[in-house]
Amino acid sequence: MNQESISQHFFAPRNVGDAHEPSFIGRAASLRCGASSRMSLQIGEANNIIEAKFKAAGCNVLVASLSKLTELVQDKTTAEAATIGQDEDLLLNALGGLEPDRFSCTTLARETLLRAVRAYSDAARSEWIGDQALICTCFCVSERTIEETIHDCGLMTVTEVTRACYAGGGCGSCHQLIQEMIDSFGVRRPGAALVSPSEDV
């Protein structure tokens, strides 16, 4: 098992610190592991990551994972960064493999990244000025598109929406909004009973 990369990143972590403003911050902590981490992303006009930085107090694997992630997401779009943040194997491979009992340390690092991307998505959504309200900032999917997709295909879950139009496939910050849309439309699938929000609770 090649631990080289973990120790390289641990002893000489890349991108320690805070990204330049305007930046978006993700924080994660695990009481169980006694670890705390934050990642800050500076993001450009084209949803591209200009700068990724981290800080952490936790084990060597957490530090190495965050260091590696900041390298992996450099110059990527936020949607790509979110995909990287969801991919356990990608990070494990990038670190040259790891004992299974240390996987959770890499999970915390990925969660930190995902939260930073979500912070960006939330902010970008509320600042969006276009004729269409934007729901999924990662994949730039508008409210109208999602609405139509739900209606036309009779979709009932966020996963189905993601499969149909990408919305929700990135950082996940739009999942609740998509769920609310599914609930409030009370869509009917051919042959299925009407689902309304009141019955949902």
176, 151 in Cβ contact below 8 A? no
Spatial distance between the Cα atoms of 35 and 59, rounded to a whole number of angstroms = 7
Is residue 168 involved in binding ligand FES (CB under 6 A)? Answer: yes
134, 124 in Cβ contact below 8 A? yes
3-state SS, 25-92, equals EEEEEECCCCEEEEEEEEECCCCEEEEEEEEEECCHHHHHHHHHHHHHHCCCEHHHHHHHHHCHHHHH
Q: Identify which of residues 13 and 85 has a Cβ nearer to other proteins in the complex.
A: 13
| Residue 17's binding partner out of other proteins, ligand FES, none, with CB under 5 to 8 Å set by partner kind | other proteins
Is residue 67 involved in binding ligand FES (CB under 6 A)? Answer: no
Is residue 171 involved in binding ligand FES (CB under 6 A)? Answer: yes
Is residue 15 involved in binding ligand FES (CB under 6 A)? Answer: no
Q: Which residues bind other proteins (CB under 8 A)?
A: 10-11, 13, 16-17, 27, 31-38, 55-60, 63, 101, 104
Find the binder of ligand FES among 35, 41, 66, 82 (CB under 6 A). Answer: 82
Residues that bind ligand FES (CB under 6 A): 82, 121, 136-138, 167-174
